[in-house]
Each structure stands twice: as structure tokens, then as C-alpha cells.
Amino acid sequence: MPPPSLIADHASELERIFEEHAGEDKKLQPAELTPALVAMGVQLTPAEMRDTLARVDADGDGELDFDEFASIFEIGSLREVFDEMDADKSGFIDEHELRLALNELGYQASKRDVLNMMSRVDADGDG
């Protein structure tokens, strides 16, 4: 489920659009998802739509309930954060970029701290 702040900030709009486009079963079919996203200002290619549906369809039924629909916007927010941290636009976050991001958030992390963090989440060491 998306972070509480995202739901609080956009709950009424998300609910309104979901209800306008969902069927009687209170789920969005793939064909209903595109117009619902367009109503939210999101336009995806067919490949992006398939990828998004695969990532957020938690129960794998090929339809989205409200929580699954709302989680699309969490993914978008996370991608924006990643892109902002990826200063050189390499598609990876290296030690220097992570350290800069932490410093901007007010954390004074040492190189050792950052390398330790990265070793915990970057299993193949590619950034």
C-alpha cells in the first residue's frame, strides 16, 4: 500500500477516478486502467502498462483493486526519487551519489557508512 502521506494527499482524487473507471466488481480491468491513468495525468506505453500491471497486481488476478491502483503512484514516486539521486543518469546509484543524497537529507554519513549501506542492498555490487 502507498505511504500514508500519499494516500492522505491524493485519496479523494484517487478514489473518485478509481470509482469512475472500475466495474461493478470494484476492480479495474486492464482496458479500464489506461483511461483511469490518463485521468490522473499518467500516460504509459503498452509495454510500460504491462510492466506496471505486473508489478502492482499483488494477487495476480489481472485486475486492480483500489489499493493496487493507488500503489502505482508509489512506484512513480520512488522512480522520481531514484532518478533525482542518479546524478549522472547512469541508471545506477553509486557511493558518491548516495552520500550526496544522504547529506542533502541532513545525514552526515561517512564513506564507510555508505559502503556498508550499499553492501546490504546491492547484492551484485553494480550500484
Give dist(CA 13, CA 24) in Å, integer: 19
Give dist(CA 3, CA 92) in Å, integer: 24
Give dist(CA 125, CA 127) in Å, integer: 6
pLDDT digits (tens, 9 = 90+) for 34-71: 898 888 777 777 888 888 888 889 999 999 999 998 88
Give the H/E segment covering residue 118: helix 111-121
What percent of the chain clears pLDDT 90, i.e. is strictly above it? 17
Number of CB atoms found within 10 A of residue 44's CB:
16
What percent of the chain clears pLDDT 70, i.e. is strictly above it? 85
